[in-house]
Structure formats: structure tokens, C-alpha cells
Structure 1
Amino acid sequence: MSEKNIPLTSAEIACLWNLYMNDSASVCFLKFMLQYIQDPEIKPVIQFAFDMSSNHKQQLTDLFQREQFAIPNGFDDQDVNMEAPWLYSDMFCLIYVGHLSKVGLLTYGGFVAMSMRKDIREFFTKGLEETTHLYNIVVDIAERKGLNPRHPYIDVPKETDYVNSKKYMSGINPFSEKRPINAIEIAHLYMNVLTNAIGEKITVSFAQTSSNKEVQEFMIRAKNISQKHIKIFVDTLLEDEIQTPRSPDVSISQSTTRTFSDKLMMFQMSLLTAAGIGNYATAAAASQRSDVSLNYERLSLETAKLAKSGADIMIKNNWLEQPPGAPNREKLIRSHQQ
């Protein structure tokens, strides 16, 4: 059987559908950002990200047509108001694209691992290579501009050691002494400080440019949750006198003009919350101190509840596009009953 005649698996269908939705959303955001960026170093990076998402969207459209795969509605020019005044500073745009590229590295890696057909694997592998290139460019420019805070420093280990007590895993009991957090735990705590800081800025910009009260209230709730989580992670680091490097103060404007559709903003929030839950799950699994991992589990539940309320808003307003799924056999059977 030739490659083109091999049917797509459910995993490949899911990955392709998700990528189309994500890229169509990214095109809208990046297109708007591009028209206001002045920095000669940052603008080419945003242009590269825009071109990459646009090309992927077109390539996916061509693939869907060959496979007789219904093209998702996704997002288009109707979801962005190109006449709106500037909303994000050049520095924020760079950091935002850097965050998207980090998410993309994980996403494309997962897509490659779940795909079997050679042409699909090659498509996702190329996307992974492009996203890696984008990430490296963003990091280099952010470094030069002082926008790339480094993770906290600790002493380099001079000798190896083994855990010699079950107490190493403890941390919940308030009457027992906690061990200092290790490098793995520090890395995840600080990474989640940074991602929540980006989420906080995004939710503020969405809240002030939406005219939908329900969406505004959701964004404010999301902002408050991000601030709460940042404080918990920072306090955990400070307990062991580990200073958290300050993230750069990247601004958003005071514009209240509708910039993005509520549908697009809520979709973007669904991506951020999903990424956050994934980050917390990874961090919980990697953290060996019980109180740290328990915090992640507790905060994951809070984030999941936020995501559920966001999905409810999207369903209520007919904004939530349904992913491809298995046929409802019971419905098919009932449709043929006399």
C-alpha cells in the first residue's frame, strides 16, 4: 500500500486538527502584533513566527483536501480587528512568542511520537525543527535586551550522594523539618512563575478589550489565580532563601478597543490553561518533596475548574469547535429503527 493510501490514525487526525486550530489562532495574534512592532530586532522574529504559522495552515489545508478531511473553521480575519490601537509592547510580543515556542517544542515532540505515517512524521519533524530555530532566536535576542531572566543559581555539586532516609520525601507534616528543595524542584517552580506571569498579562489585556461581561469576569478570575499561584511558588523558593529573579516589566497598553473576538480569546485561554495543567503534572511527578508535589496537584485542580468554566462559556456561546471523534454507534442504530 502506498503512503498516500494509508489511512490516517485517530492520533494523526487529532494532532493535525489541533495544529490547524492552534496555527489559525496564532496567525490572528501575530498578524495584529506585526503592524505595531518598531524594534528592528524583534520584528523579524515575529514575522518568522507569523510566516511559519501561515505556511503550516496552508499545508494543513492542502493535506485535508487530499485526505477528504473536513477543514476546521478555526479562526480568520473576522477574529481580529486590525484597526484597533496597539495593545502589546514590542518586548511583550517577543516574550509571548518565546512562550509559544516552548509550548510548540513539547507539542511537536508529542505529535511526532504519536504519528506513524511517514509524510505526517516528516511534517511534524519539520515543524519541530522550525520551532526549535524560533525558540533559539527568541532566547538570543531576549538575552541581549535583558528580557531573559535566568533561573536561580545554586552551587554546582562537588560529589555524588544517595537518599538515605524516607524523610527526603516528606514535607507535609508541619512539625517535622523539611529538607531544602532540590535543583529539579527549583527549576519547575521558577518555570511556573514565568508562565503564570505571562498568563497574568494576557488575561488583563483580554479583560480590558472584551465587551462581554461574562468573558471579562472569567479573565479577571484567571488573572487572580495566576497571581495566587505565582505567590505560592515564590514563597516556596524563599523558604530556602532562593531569590526569584524578577521577570521583565513588559507592558500592555490601556486600550479598551475590541481587538480579538471573544471566541479567539477564550480559545487562547483554553490553550494556556491546558499547558498550565500539563506543566503542573510534569512538575508534580518530578518533585520529590511531598508538600511541593501536593501543591501542584491542588493548583492543577483549581486550574482545571477554571478551564471547565471557560469551556462552559464557549459552549453557551457556540464558540467551542468540536474535535473529530468516533461515530456514535448507538445513534446510528437508532436512526435505522422502525
Structure 2
Amino acid sequence: MGGYRTTTSSQVPITSSELANLWMTYQEKTMIIRMLEHFIEHADDEAKQLLQLHCDRAVLSVEAITSILQQEGTVIPMGFTEGDVHKGVPKLYDYMYDIMYLHLMTKVEMSLYALFTGMTYRKDIEDFFIGLTAESQAMNSQSTQFLLKKGVLIRPPFVSMPTEVRFVRDKEYMGGLNLFNEKRSLNTVEVSLIHHAIETNLVGMQLMIGFAQVATNEDVKKYLVKGMKLSEKIEMDLGEFLRQSFIEPPATHAGKATASKTAPFSDKLMMYNTSLLASFGLGSNALGGAFSLRSDLPAKMAFIGKDIFAFAQEGGKIMIKNGWMEEPPQVEDRNQLTK
């Protein structure tokens, strides 16, 4: 994509939802740029080309948002700047993690931009988010094929193809909580959602390990260790569902944190990235629970969701305490007019 169209003075003003979504995209894109700068510095030529492509497109997105907000006469967010990444330090993650991280973040972006497109009413901004959705889908495809070619991305399990249409006849199909009744095997919808959750948590767990090693704030360090343990617990709990159906959970030999203790990123950036993934985890967890027909799986997803929510809340408090949480654009408080 060569660039993005921006607004003209004849456009109707942007709505509150459009402003919010542009603001959130600015935060996410400026964070991604800083993360990719570190990865690009240490990547081999083949991975560097893919990382640089995504970084360049993120820069174009930030420029487009800046242009729109300037024409609307509103302040440009701070987001994440060159001060949030430290050049010339040892790499924090080992073989293939850079593309594994990109693969994870394109999943986040696909979800965000599709949602934002449906909340947009002005044509130029709608086109902007449609473009970002297509761009994130293309980048997800490229990173997927790259990792498959390198043998570090595990495909979901193969199954026998059905030969006839079948309908559920027994209410026990939705059972699972009764310890004395035999549970049915998982269906392919449930397997796909569990596999996705485990795959993303494995990448997230390594991210937390690396972040925890280099965080300078003691509260942040302890918090990131909690995030690592939470990701590990989710992977183990959901993996057990697969094992009960004689399916081996996904795992990979690649994408580990190195032993480096030198921070390439600011604590502020690491906390925001963690917060973003926690929000993505909440959404994915809710989706997994909603589409499962075996009652024990939604129950487990509900417990996991509670843990993720508590983790996200604690992170928000740490960010506020340290002055790292940039406030989204605020609706005017009409109650002040009556005081």
C-alpha cells in the first residue's frame, strides 16, 4: 500500500468513536515501530526484510493519523517515541522470535482494525481502517508462511474429513462438568480455539520472560513475572483439554528469551505491550467460551478470563502510579455545567 488518503476541510467532523479508534491505533502503531526497531537491528537479512516492511507501513499509518488529527485541530497523542527504545544493546530474544512476535501482533491488529472499521462512518477513515485490515491480513499470511517454511510454527491437528451431515441428538453433547459422566471428544471448533489460545500464550510467555529480565522498576518486574506464570498456567490448563482427546498441544523449539539483562525498551512500553496483549487475551477467551458446546470448557474459560482481567487491572494501576498511562480523549463532563 503506497500511502493513505487524509481528510479535507470539506469533510464532516470525526465522531467520538472515530477519534477513539484513531487514538488507539496511534498508540499501537508507535509501540510496534519501537519494538520492530530493536528486532530489525538484530535480524538476519531474510527476516529483516519482512520486519522492515511492516515497520515502514506502521510509519505511514502514524503519518496518516497525524494528518487527520491536525486537520481536525486536535492534539497529537504522545504514544511511543525514540526514547522508548534503546539502540546498540544485546538482542533480547533468540532465533525466530522476531517473526513470531510479528505473527502474534498481526493477529491483534486484524481483530482491532476489523472492529474499528465497523465503528466508522466517515468514508476516508473507513477506507483507512479497511486498508489497515487488509494490510494486517497480508502481513499475517506472510509471517505464517515464513514460520512454516522455517519449521517453527506448529499446524493445528489434522482430522478425518466428515462424510455425512450429522445433528446433535443427545443433550449430553453439552456435558462436561459432571465428573462421573464420560466427556465427549472435542469438536474441531473447540480444538481450533484452544490451539489458537495456546499458540498465542506461548509467544506471550516468552515476551514476559524477556521483559521481566530487563525491567528496571521493581513493581514492573514482579508484575511481568506474574504475566509469565499466568501464560504458563493458561497453556497448561488448556493443553489438558487437548491431551484428554489424545491431541498433543502445540510447542516450538524457537523463539526464546536470551539471557540479556540490558533493557532495549522502556518500562512504559513493556507495560503497554503487556496491557494490549491482556486485552486481546480477554477477547479471545470470551470468543472461545462462547463457541464451545462442552460445558466444562466455557467454565474454564470463565476462570481464565477472571484471572486475565485481574492481571490487566493490576497493570493499569502500575501504569497510573508511574505516569505511563496516556489518557484517551475525554467526553465533555456536562455535570460540571450544573455546579
Smaller-chain TM-score range?
over 0.9
Q: Which amino acid aligns with 1:53?
A: A
Q: Does the CA contact (< 8 Å) of 1:33 and 1:93 recur in 2?
A: yes
The match for 1:130 is 135
Separation (CA, whole Å) in 2 of partners of 1:132 and 1:191 = 16
Q: C-alpha deviations, 1:41-71, integer Å up to 9, x for none?
A: 2111100111011111111111110011211
Which of 11, 14, 23 is residue 8 of structure 1 equivalent to? Answer: 14
Shift in Å, 1:169: 0.8
Matched, 1:118 2:129: no
The 5 Å alignment of 1:1-338 reads 4-38=10-44, 40-334=45-339
Separation (CA, whole Å) in 2 of partners of 1:181 and 1:41 = 39
Unaligned runs of 5+ in 1: none
Q: Which amino acid aligns with 1:146?
A: G
Q: Which amino acid aligns with 1:28?
A: R
Which segment is superposed worse, 85-94 or 222-231? 85-94
Separation (CA, whole Å) in 1 of partners of 2:141 and 2:186 = 29
Q: C-alpha deviations, 1:70-112, integer Å up to 9, x for none?
A: 1111110111111321112350001100111111111111111
Separation (CA, whole Å) in 1 of partners of 2:9 and 2:126 = 12
Q: Which amino acid aligns with 2:27?
A: M
Q: Does the CA contact (< 8 Å) of 1:152 and 1:245 recur in 2?
A: no
Separation (CA, whole Å) in 2 of partners of 1:125 and 1:62 = 18
Q: Which amino acid aligns with 1:223?
A: M
Partner SS state of residue 183, structure 2: coil
TM-score of the superposed pair, with normalisation by structure 2: 0.95
The match for 2:5 is none
Shift in Å, 1:256: 0.7
Q: Does the CA contact (< 8 Å) of 2:271 and 2:319 recur in 1?
A: yes
Separation (CA, whole Å) in 1 of partners of 2:172 and 2:140 = 39
Q: Does the CA contact (< 8 Å) of 1:3 and 1:117 recur in 2?
A: no
Q: Percent identity?
A: 31
Partner SS state of residue 17, structure 2: helix
Q: C-alpha deviations, 1:306-331, integer Å up to 9, x for none?
A: 00000000011111111112111122
Separation (CA, whole Å) in 1 of partners of 2:251 and 2:88 = 34
Would the alpha carbon gap of residues 231 and 254 (structure 1) be closer, same or farther in structure 2, given more than 3 Å must change? same
Partner SS state of residue 188, structure 1: helix
Separation (CA, whole Å) in 1 of partners of 2:182 and 2:287 = 25
Q: Does the CA contact (< 8 Å) of 2:199 and 2:250 recur in 1?
A: no
Q: Does the CA contact (< 8 Å) of 1:23 and 1:53 recur in 2?
A: yes
Partner SS state of residue 19, structure 1: helix
Shift in Å, 1:3: 8.0
Q: C-alpha deviations, 1:114-157, integer Å up to 9, x for none?
A: 10100001111111121122111111211111122100122111
Q: Which amino acid aligns with 1:26?
A: I
Q: Does the CA contact (< 8 Å) of 1:6 and 1:117 recur in 2?
A: yes
Separation (CA, whole Å) in 2 of partners of 1:89 and 1:207 = 16
Shift in Å, 1:251: 2.3
Partner SS state of residue 108, structure 1: helix
TM-score of the superposed pair, with normalisation by structure 1: 0.95
Which segment is superposed worse, 247-256 or 211-220? 247-256
Separation (CA, whole Å) in 2 of partners of 1:258 and 1:43 = 21
Q: Does the CA contact (< 8 Å) of 1:314 and 1:320 recur in 2?
A: yes
Partner SS state of residue 113, structure 2: helix
Q: Which amino acid aligns with 2:59?
A: S
Shift in Å, 1:249: 2.6
